[in-house]
Amino acid sequence: MPRQAYVNGRYLPHREAAVHIEDRGYQFADGVYEVVPVFNGALVDEDLHLDRLDRSLGELRIAQPMSRAALKLVSRELMRRNGLSNGFLYMQVTRGVAPRDHKFPTNARPALVMTTRQMKPHSEQVLGEGLKVITVPDQRWDRCDIKSVSLLPNILGKQAAVEAGAYEAWQVDRDGMVTEGTSTNAWIVTQDNKVVTRDATHSILNGITRITLLELIRKEGYELEERCFSVEEAKAAREAFLTSSTSFVLPITQLDAKPIGNGHPGILTGKLRQHYMDYMQSLRKSA
Ligand code: PDD
């Protein structure tokens, strides 16, 4: 059976699935999204993702497209139809379809799209060699905590990374402090083995992987600081890594062409990745 997508109440072949040309997501990026990892058939941290979706919708005053129970049902039905056991579920909610006009439409219904994508495990090469990251100025607005589909600075940053032969770009604020990657959260391990990641303010997206990893770090008793760190501090760090729903925990071994630590993936980073993988392994299949 060809892959299917869910579009406003219907399951359609992915190839033919489409939204209206006057969908406000298309015209204004007036919408939000979530990427929920699926690991061995389990939706990872589903409720945390749905909490963040609710919050993003609330901040933008977009109505809920359906109840949480209904969202969960559609997620499972789409996973079942697509035979998805490892990959991710993408959900996008926009303010709906209305004649183009900046102000909120009075009677549009929120539009919901869901797709799934399979993902292969990260390659031994990536895990063995680590990733290259560059830095770029953070050009975004000051509500990066909202998971909006408006991602122009992020895609420009990611493209700059790709063109520099890197995997990710760390965005840097006006004070020279790293905010986060274009689609990942940023972490370092200091020379005295403290794990550091920026505190979750309006300047970053509070990653669900970040939230879960913070919990695992606390549980395992590693030293932790949630605070800003500069590009200089990152370059002098012992280790660096990134997190996201599609990267999980991945080591970084170069920042702006400078090796981090000894230039190999960090030992603590490897342990944290393992804790995260064990956590996902422990989850029960989403029925
Ligand atoms: N990106 N920061 C930004 C700007 C992101 O876009 C993401 C996720 C993260 C990590 O959040 P989480 O751990 O909840 O995935 C941080 C998704 C994967 C994407 O846009 O594809």
Tens digit of each residue's pLDDT (9 = 90 or more) over 93-152: 999 999 999 999 999 999 999 999 999 999 999 999 999 999 999 999 999 999 999 999
Q: Ligand 1, residues 183, 203, 208, 212: which to mutate, most atoms within 8 A of Cβ?
A: 183
Residue 192: which of 161, 152, 224, 163 has the closest Cα? Answer: 224
The series of mean pLDDT values per 10 residues for the chain, 287 residues long, is 94 96 98 98 98 98 98 98 98 98 96 98 95 98 98 98 98 98 98 98 98 98 98 98 98 98 98 98 91
Residue 140: which of 116, 165, 158, 123 has the closest Cα? Answer: 158
On the question of a common fold for 4-118 and 124-286, the answer reads no
Domain extents in the chain: 4-118, 124-286
The residue written with tokens 């309006």 in the block is 202
Fold of 4-118: D-amino Acid Aminotransferase; Chain A, domain 1 (3.30.470)
The pLDDT of residue 1 is: 76
Question: Are residues 111 and 9 in contact, defined by beta-carbon separation less than 8 angstroms?
Answer: no
Q: How far is 131 from 46, CA to CA, in rounded Å?
A: 28
The residue written with tokens 């770009």 in the block is 169
Task: Tell me the three state secondary structure of residue 40.
Answer: coil
Catalytic positions: 147
| CB distance 212 to ligand 1 below 6 Å | no
| CB distance 250 to ligand 1 below 6 Å | no
The pLDDT of residue 119 is: 97
| CB distance 185 to ligand 1 below 6 Å | yes
The residue written with tokens 């109440």 in the block is 9
pTM assigned to the model: 0.98
The pLDDT of residue 260 is: 98
Measured CA to CA in angstroms, residue 25 lies from 11, 100, 163 at distances of: 20, 11, 28
Q: Where are the alpha helices (DSSP H) in the chain?
A: 24-28, 46-60, 68-82, 124-129, 152-163, 208-220, 231-235, 267-281
The pLDDT of residue 265 is: 98
Q: What is the CATH number of domain 124-286?
A: 3.20.10.10
Question: Are residues 32 and 93 in contact, defined by beta-carbon separation less than 8 angstroms?
Answer: yes
Q: Which residues contact 165 (CB under 8 A, 6 or more apart)?
A: 132
The pLDDT of residue 31 is: 98
User: How far does the centroid of ligand 1 lie from the alpha carbon of residue 149, in Å?
Assistant: 11
| CB distance 89 to ligand 1 below 6 Å | no
Q: Ligand 1, residues 55, 143, 156, 205: which to mutate, most atoms within 8 A of Cβ?
A: 205
Q: Which two tokens stand for residue 208?
A: 């669900």
Residue nearest to atom 12 of ligand 1 (CA): 207
Q: Ligand 1, residues 91, 245, 273: which to mutate, most atoms within 8 A of Cβ?
A: 245
Tens digit of each residue's pLDDT (9 = 90 or more) over 44-69: 999 999 999 999 999 999 999 999 99
User: How far does the centroid of ligand 1 lie from the alpha carbon of residue 172, in Å?
Assistant: 17
